Chain A
Amino acid sequence: EAQVTQNPRYLITVTGKKLTVTCSQNMNHEYMSWYRQDPGLGLRQIYYSMNVEVTDKGDVPEGYKVSRKEKRNFPLILESPSPNQTSLYFCASTMGGGGTEAFFGQGTRLTVV
């Protein structure tokens, strides 16, 4: 089954404690992205990757890091989380091209206290 898998689904952490949210896709897609969803703002892109070792900033990259060492994996790293990073995070992948469908993971609800 084609899918994007994120882990964990829920995470509560404390300010400043480094964390990683994993994302894996089994569709051999080239493009992967991370979004955060906040009430009234919809989804905003944090980072994206066009292929292995190729990443770039989205609209709200501050406080986040990513890496793309393998095509299937695209982890999101918060090196020093702060309460304003409390949000619902989604990983997405797509084959590429502006018209192809983006597949989304189930989401990770992060709370930073």
Chain B
Amino acid sequence: AQSVTQPDIHITVSEGASLELRCNYSYGATPYLFWYVQSPGQGLQLLLKYFSGDTLVQGIKGFEAEFKRSQSSFNLRKPSVHWSDAAEYFCAVAPSGGYNKLIFGAGTRLAVHP
């Protein structure tokens, strides 16, 4: 069965520090991969997505993610975190060839210390 694992439930970083959020997926083929962010009381906003091609993708708000097929991973990174990045982050996959649903990880809650 398809699944997404986000190993870190909570992460705390200092403002200005670098960030990496981990995501591993289980799927037979290469799925479409997404990272969403959910700020408190808000819906989900797409940060970036990977379909094919260059395995390093750039997103909004200075985020990037790297797809590594050999590790079945799609980790999210940011070189310097801002206090406004405090939120919950979700990795998701969609089976290739058509969309009927997204499969989400459990989420990683990011806290940023000043």
> Which residue numbers of A lie inside 8 Å of B, CB to CB?
4, 31, 33, 35, 40-45, 48, 50, 56, 58-59, 90, 92, 94, 96-102, 104-107
Contact = CB atoms under 8 A, between A and B. Distances in A.
B54 to A, nearest CB: 14
A71 B49 CA distance: 26
B interface secondary structure, majority? loop
Contact of B98 (A4, A97, A107): A97
13 contacts: A31-B99, A41-B106, A44-B104, A50-B100, A58-B101, A98-B31, A98-B97, A99-B32, A99-B49, A99-B94, A99-B96, A101-B49, A106-B42
Interface residues of B, number: 29
Contacts, number: 72
Interface of B: 4, 6, 9, 31-32, 34, 36, 42-46, 49, 51, 90, 92, 94-102, 104-107
